[in-house]
Structure 1
Amino acid sequence: MRKKPEDELAKAQVLPRSVTVGGSRIETDVVETGRIYAHEYRDRERPALAGLSIGHGNITAGTLGCYVLDKANGNRLSILSNNHVLADINRGVAGDPIYQPGPADLPKAPENIIARLTRFVPIDFGGTNYVDCAVADLDVDCAVVDDVRGDMTRPSREQPAVGLLFAGQSFDGVETRTFLCPINEVAARLNVEMTAGAGARSAVRPEDAQPPGAPVQKTGRTSEYTTGRIVDIDVMLEINMGDGSSALFDNQIAVTGMSCPGDSGSIVCRGGSGAVSTMNCGCVFLAAAEEFTGVPWSQEWEPIRYARDKYLANSLTGRWVIDTFFDNRNQENLVTRVQDGYEGEVPEEDRAFVQAVYGQYFSEVKVALYAPDRDDIRVTQQHVTETQDAINRARKYMLPEEADAVQEVFELCRDRVLGKNGRELIALLDDETLYQRIREIAAASDSISDPYA
């Protein structure tokens, strides 16, 4: 992960310059790579199967649910997934390109276009919704296989589909739920049919939710193949759609937690072992931040993960941030201390402030993240002023030395970031002087564990 100079290593830790194997001399080296993450089901694959990464050009990534026959379009073989995956929450128009993999997993390119948006059921933010679904017409030149990647098969009479996965909670061991739109409702409203016929979809029944619940399975872009059980049917719930807006859904299906962000659009079928999956989709800091602020940080895991893998993992300061806060389990004491001290006591004005900043700026941040060279998105004095306001509000939740460290880092970076665009901010992460100074500031706080110390 990190290559240290030889003079920083004990003699026993230094690799030999070469080794002899079977009479042959082989040179050795250590290559610094940063942290390496599994791609899961996020690569470009042809022929393309269900369960892979997919998405409209303006989103991060979701899941190719399954192939269906579009009865309104001459029974053409088409892709079934969510509105928020294929149609960017009502913003898409017919003919928009659909990419495999989704933009978060590989930059958009003509050769990655797999289909074109055909239509979607609009999400009504002022009324009641029953489905989150869309269909896309396959590109005639794209090679596909009507099957599901991994351990599942396509929906069939033996393992019929029961729902289309569109929402859920899943992080850090909390008891979680995943939510599905009933597949019969999806098929009726989109006017599509399973490729194996109507017998390849199934309504849920009250007895399906009787403990331990009927077993179900899914394959998704992020958590791949998982199993679970039906918990409730005819569920009404409010869903945060990821852009600060909420929509009411009724007559939904709840299953045990079996998904992470990026799994949206997965087809869920009867069958599988019924083993309840243990999901961990984010990090302890995001889970705690969501609990305290009411901002859906777990729903934003994909752009956060993109920033981590694309930018942080390739810079000095970024790798240190990853290893100190994303992956260093020694930091859990920070979260535990904050939870113990402030659970249920966060002033409403603080929550409202964070929610307002999130609603005003996070969409802009995501645009800058995926298009860092845009000159019209730069750090302004208002950004700096509101950051200082946020630090002042956060002091009550930190130990004095932590608050002092945050303030010192802010003052160190304030003038450096003002007026810069995304690309220029990314370059700062590789500034050796800045990197060393930030580590020195963090070292002054006994509660922050530096994994490189």
Structure 2
Amino acid sequence: MAGPDEWRAARPLVRQARDQLWERFQGDRNIVGIGFGPPSRGGRLQDTPACVIRVAHKVPLDQLAPGKAVPSTMDIRGHTIETDVVETGRFYAQEFREKERPALCGISVGHRDITAGTLGCLVKDLRDNDRLLMLSNNHVLANQNVCQAGDPIFQPGPYDWDNVPVPGNIIAKLTRWVPLLWNGPYNRVDAAVAAPDDDCSVYDDMKGDMTRPTSAQPAVGLLFAGSKAETLLNPIDDVMTALGVEMVFGPAARSTVTADDVIPPGAAVQKTGRTTEYTTGRIVAIDQIVSVTYDHGNWATFDDTIVTTAMSQGGDSGSVVCRGGSGASGFVFTCQFLATAEELTGVPFTQEWLSFSYARDKFLANTVAGRWLIDTLYLNESTAMYRSAEVRPQVPDEDRAFAQALYSQHGGDMKLALMNPDRDDIRVSEQFLLDAEESLARARKYMLPEEADAAAQTIALVRARGIVGKNGRDLITMLDDPELLAKLKEIAASTGSLVDPDD
């Protein structure tokens, strides 16, 4: 075991090791972060400081190309620094219910052109006579730099409007933001503030049992991203400095993380967010350089990030994270099927869970074919999980890159169509079907022949029904057709392996 003094002395040494490794491996997209924390052995955190390398997918040592292996130890100023490689998946910016007045912290907000995020807390504007401002992320309030000062901020966020803009939902106007730097340069924070409207009641407290940041429960960070395994925070001190704001209760209501906070099991923290509401976890790393994926194929590198155990999902971005709580997160991701699909392809399906579940419950479940598809998916989920585990080692980088390129091309439109199927500007294109056919051609080698044939028949069926040019509402109408359901059942039966929920 290492004592507190040993942890404190190791921090600057690990930081130097981190910088050397990042310079060497920053072009490797499988490495998503490097920072200071305890290593893990057999699923247990060890009470020794180390340089921890976070990867999207762990690759056996004998399968790594020369020069790609991370050294097991590093010599820094005459000291031996241990390293550890941890698989976390990729990190994604977590933008993603009801209207509340007075508006409390921890609830749904967002710029008019995003889905929804979280109102973190209220802060004082040091540049304007301590007026109160709402704190959240750039990608929640400022639409990833695509904005202007004065843009309206909605509560609830646009995702939670039920697709009907309501002027009465405007709660604030965008004041300022820290621009996000894409594809290389270091960022310190993903943060923005907005000024509440004079006639809008915003109450300086937190929804639920957690309280706002105080000296008894100081804030340590602003939640901005996460994966299925961990959550990322910007240090709250950096956020305050970058935006020129301060906590309502002053500097005593925020706390700097130190080496002591990562000594296993890690300092307990808590948050209240739009999606997962109240959760608690523990700090597992600090001083993290990390790569985060945003919409439209953009990615951003952040320095000095705080890493916690998993305590968030899409829509929790902007939550303020404070000291306190039990630290026992008990956090389980909503959909293991999507998490497995993400592992296979590198496409952020897990971060689209809310879009999928919203469309499923509001639209798909109200059609005869849609209900059958939903039930079939869940009834055959265990088989799909098993098969995915078998094929995962066989998926080459070029197929993963192809899937990610398709997501970058079509993912944004698909998300918007899921939220609002009546949009006339988003329709099925011939290119979309061609891409689907190319995807099937690539996937055939991972499928049983009868499964591949069934998929080809399904694509041919929807093509024959004139799917090109249809919008989301047209597709919903198509799915509410007993004849289409009968055809889909025939195709499913031809595989000999799919369990029909109606049998």
TM range, smaller chain: 0.7 to 0.9
CA distance in 1: counterparts of 2:432 and 2:498, whole angstroms: 26
Matched, 1:112 2:161: no
Q: Which runs of 4+ in 1 moved over 6 A?
A: none
CA distance in 1: counterparts of 2:203 and 2:500, whole angstroms: 48
For 2:299, the aligned partner's letter is S
2:68 corresponds to: none
2:254 corresponds to: 201
CA distance in 1: counterparts of 2:160 and 2:322, whole angstroms: 26
Equivalent residue pairs, number? 404
Residue 444 of structure 1: how far off its partner (Å): 3.0
CA contact (8 A) 1:104 1:302 kept: no
Residue 309 of structure 1: how far off its partner (Å): 2.8
CA distance in 1: counterparts of 2:502 and 2:187, whole angstroms: 50
1:351 corresponds to: 400
Residue 371 of structure 1: how far off its partner (Å): 4.3
1:6 corresponds to: none
Name the SS for the 2:295 alignment partner: coil
Q: 2:376 aligns with which of 324, 327, 334?
A: 324
Residue 438 of structure 1: how far off its partner (Å): 1.3
List gaps (5 residues or longer) in structure 1: 1-40, 171-175
2:389 corresponds to: 339
1:274-313 Cα deviation digits (max 9, x unpaired): 21332213x2332122112122222222322332233212
1:131 corresponds to: 189
CA distance in 1: counterparts of 2:471 and 2:300, whole angstroms: 33
Residues 254 and 310 (structure 1 numbering): CA distance in 2 closer, same or farther, change over 3 Å?
A: same
CA distance in 2: counterparts of 1:152 and 1:110, whole angstroms: 30
CA contact (8 A) 1:121 1:132 kept: yes
CA contact (8 A) 1:162 1:268 kept: yes
2:353 corresponds to: 301
2:128 corresponds to: 73
1:130-161 Cα deviation digits (max 9, x unpaired): 10111011011112221111110000000000
Q: 1:262 aligns with which of 315, 335, 346?
A: 315
List gaps (5 residues or longer) in structure 2: 1-95
CA distance in 2: counterparts of 1:334 and 1:363, whole angstroms: 26
Q: 2:486 aligns with which of 417, 436, 441?
A: 436
1:104-132 Cα deviation digits (max 9, x unpaired): 11232101111111111011013001101
Q: 2:284 aligns with which of 231, 240, 243?
A: 231
For 1:118, the aligned partner's letter is T
1:420 corresponds to: 470
CA distance in 2: counterparts of 1:276 and 1:365, whole angstroms: 32
Matched, 1:242 2:300: no
CA contact (8 A) 1:64 1:80 kept: yes
Residues 343 and 384 (structure 1 numbering): CA distance in 2 closer, same or farther, change over 3 Å?
A: closer
Q: Which stretch of structure 1 is more off in the superposition, 227-236 or 413-422?
A: 413-422
CA contact (8 A) 1:86 1:117 kept: yes
Name the SS for the 1:307 alignment partner: helix
2:138 corresponds to: 83
Matched, 1:51 2:106: yes
CA contact (8 A) 2:356 2:418 kept: no
Residue 74 of structure 1: how far off its partner (Å): 2.8
Q: 2:271 aligns with which of 214, 218, 225?
A: 218
CA contact (8 A) 2:240 2:246 kept: yes
Q: TM-score, normalised by structure 1?
A: 0.85
Name the SS for the 1:274 alignment partner: coil
Residue 395 of structure 1: how far off its partner (Å): 1.4
For 2:367, the aligned partner's letter is S
CA contact (8 A) 1:313 1:322 kept: yes
For 1:422, the aligned partner's letter is G
CA contact (8 A) 1:53 1:101 kept: yes
CA contact (8 A) 1:261 1:299 kept: yes
CA distance in 1: counterparts of 2:502 and 2:159, whole angstroms: 30
Residue 42 of structure 1: how far off its partner (Å): 1.3
Matched, 1:165 2:223: yes
Matched, 1:148 2:198: no
1:52-89 Cα deviation digits (max 9, x unpaired): 11111111111111111122233222110111111111
CA RMSD of aligned residues (A): 1.7
- The percentage of counterpart residues that share the same residue type is 55
Name the SS for the 1:353 alignment partner: helix
Q: 1:382 aligns with which of 428, 431, 440?
A: 431
